[in-house]
Amino acid sequence: MKELSTQEYNELYKKYFKEIFSKPMKDLGFKKKGTGKFCRLNKLGLFEYIGFFRYYQKLRLEYAIIPIYSNMMKNSIGNGGDTNFVDLDSEEKMEKGMKEILNEIENSIIPWFQKYERVCKNFYTPNNLDSIFLKPVFKMIKIVKFKILYVSIINIF
């Protein structure tokens, strides 16, 4: 087995990445953003993110579920994690490792997103008075988050 040059390695990585991840991620409802990021909105309006983090000839996943309504809430409500690095230093390991990562997405991360969605759904039930109040408030914060700063500045002067 010969040593791959950087250019050959990068071409193989792009080929296998597109071959192994593009269609399955699209079938799961994710859209590709940038080089190695996939995201979608779930039924509750929360942002589900899966990012591929490549470090030399190793690859791992970072995943998170984040509210999109307000910057103030992102740090307090967002939740996620990452996986262990998978070694991709040869063509065989690259194909095998990427398939393992896809298997981990389908069997671990997607169920984790669904579990988190079920937990959050209990908070957003019509019988819950907080949800009746908070859902419109979150939407208003999204719409007027820049106006809040403007109004507070005017009140100071």
- CB-based contacts of 38: which residues, under 8 Å, 6+ apart? 21, 25, 30, 31, 32, 49, 50, 51
pTM: 0.69
CA distance 55 to 52: 10
d(CA 40, CA 46): 8
List strand residue ranges (DSSP E) for 31-95, in order: 31-33, 37-41, 46-55, 58-67, 79-82, 86-87
Using one digit for the tens of pLDDT, what is the confidence trace for 47-105? Answer: 888 999 988 889 999 988 877 665 555 554 557 788 889 888 888 889 999 999 999 99
- Across residues 117-128, what is the average pLDDT? 56
Domain residue spans of the chain = 6-123
Specify whether the CB–CB gap between 63 and 82 falls below 8 A: yes
